[in-house]
Structure 1
Amino acid sequence: MDMDTDDSPAPKFRRRAEHRPDELLDAALALFVERGYAHTSVAQIARAAGVSKGAVYLYFPSKQALLEGLVKRAVAPAGAAAVAAAQATPGNVRTALTAFLGQLALRLSDPQVVAVPRIVLREAAAVPEIAEMYRRSVLEPALPVLADMIRRGIASGELRPVDPELTIRSIMGPIVVHLVLAEVFGVWPAAGLSLPALIDNHLDILFHGLIAQPEPSRDA
């Protein structure tokens, strides 16, 4: 239940009705980032958007529906674009995986996009329905495509025989942990979140390992 029952909208320039859902989502995103999902009410979102609380419910039946709208507007298209980049990349698994993570890094470098998974990570433990919605909208479409990519690499002899599903967890895990360390535990890298830099570093380790290769012998 919303704690704030004041439905009076703040004066604001009103755009045409077809733009209203985006106005509401923009207001919700700003407040979720500033105050947290649990501490934001629909009435506060309505005031920030310059409409009544009843007007919000015309487009979004609940606060959770607003968060789902943010996921569908920002994060789901980012995942779909990354999958499309991988599927459209000719050549080996390495180039396809590089295309996938590169497109993901590009999309998540937009603060308006990366803000949404950050909210989900902070709030999912307290509101399990958020985790379920995110899994359904983002993870379920992407993970099978990546697992199939690994299977094809194994079948072609490009990759060693590894467990495809566990391998995908190993590939995507560092990105999730990077966000969790920052958003849940407050452990930030010195250079900031910088997902593109993390993904570049991750790809280098993934394809080349951590152990330095010895210099070739000059006597060879």
Structure 2
Amino acid sequence: MHDTPSERGPKFRRRAEARPDEVLDAALTLFIEKGYAAARVEDIARHAGLSKGTVYLYFPSKEALLRGLVRRAIVPIADSALQTLHDFEGDPRIVIGMVMKMLAARLADPKVVAMPKLIFREVLGFPELAQVYRSEVLDRILPAIESVIRRGVERGYLRQVDPALTIRSIIGPLMLHVAMAEIFGIMPAGGLHMDQLVENHLTILFDGLSAPPSAKTWSAS
């Protein structure tokens, strides 16, 4: 007579709890190595040391695997950014800088930066990749950033800029930075250095975005 999972002890339960992450790790490796189209679920299962049926218990399709990867790597960043944006009052340059530096720090994790890399590589052939990223991340965080910019303009911290277009100026350099490396193979010496890019970008951004001193007295400290 076989033991039930509940009778197999904490070691078995810990192993079962770790399986979704093991599957996602294997999927990410194969999506990067082979591409989204060529990576088969059976290959992912073999790489994870599991049966194909076990993979389907957790993720019923490749799209579900992709959504799981986005939720694991990127959604926590979006959640943290949203909390910061919603709770902040005052000069929007401070909170924009905080969010951008947090993003740079998170993108230092290979499992996190692999997601935008994968999107850039595969999006033209598989638009569902972009749709997953949009629904899980962009549709949630872009309105919050736009609201912060709009309040900054209304309160005199920022120039009279279009909030929706300004978002593109804020996040565009990060996306281009990854795209230049992944699509065109143009990599800065020593790697992406997201932290250095963000520091450089914020200096240029805020010098151009800030309202004249006569419009608002403010402190960057």
After TM superposition, the structure 1 stretch with the greater mean CA deviation from structure 2, 82-91 or 146-155, is 82-91
Residue equivalent to 1:85: 84
**1:59-97 Cα distance to aligned partner (Å, 9 max, x none):** 111112111100001111112212323334453111011
Partner residue, 1:160: 159
Larger helix proportion, structure 1 or 2?
2
* Equivalent residue, structure 2, for 1:196: 195
Q: Match of 1:184?
A: 183
User: Which structure exhibits the higher relative contact order, with contacts defined as CA atoms closer than 8 Å and separated by 6 or more residues?
Assistant: 2
Q: Is the 8 A contact 2:153 2:159 kept in 1?
A: yes
Query: How big is each residue's C-alpha offset from its partner over 1:22-46, in whole Å with a ceiling of 9 and x where there is no partner?
Result: 1100111122222222221111100
CA contact (8 A) 1:102 1:199 kept: yes
User: Distance in 1 between the 2:196 and 2:124 partners?
Assistant: 28
Match of 1:11 in 2: none
Instruction: Report the Cα distance in structure 1 between the residues aligned to 2:100 and 2:192, rounded to whole angstroms.
Output: 16
Residue pair 1:120, 1:130 contacting (<8 A) in 2 also? yes
Shift of 1:16: 2.2
Q: Following TM superposition, by how much is the alpha carbon of 1:138 offset from its aligned partner in structure 2, in angstroms?
A: 0.8
Q: What do the CA deviations read for 1:148-176 (whole angstroms, capped 9, x no partner)?
A: 00100011011111110000011111111
Could you tell me how far 1:51 is from its partner in structure 2? 1.1
Q: For residues 40 and 75 of structure 2, what CA distance do their matches in structure 1 show? A: 24
Provide the aligned C-alpha RMSD in A.
Answer: 1.7
Q: C-alpha separation between the residues in 1 aligned to 2:192 and 2:79?
A: 23
Q: Distance in 1 between matches of 2:35 and 2:145?
A: 32
Matched, 1:64 2:60: no
How far residue 191 of structure 1 moved from its aligned partner, in angstroms, is: 3.1
Gaps of 5+ in 1: 1-13, 210-220
Distance 2:162 2:200 in 1: 23
CA contact (8 A) 1:89 1:99 kept: no
CA distance in 2, matches of 1:66, 1:180: 23
SS in structure 1 at match of 2:82: helix
Aligned-residue sequence identity (percent) comes to 53
Q: Which amino acid aligns with 1:198?
A: L
Structure 2 unpaired stretches of 5+: 1-11, 209-221
Aligned to 2:25: 26
Give the corresponding residue for 2:101. Answer: 102
User: C-alpha distance in 1, partners of 2:35/2:153?
Assistant: 43
Distance between the aligned counterparts of 2:87 and 2:104, measured in 1? 17
How high is the TM-score relative to the length of structure 1?
Answer: 0.84
Partners in 1 of 2:146 and 2:88 — Cα distance?
A: 16
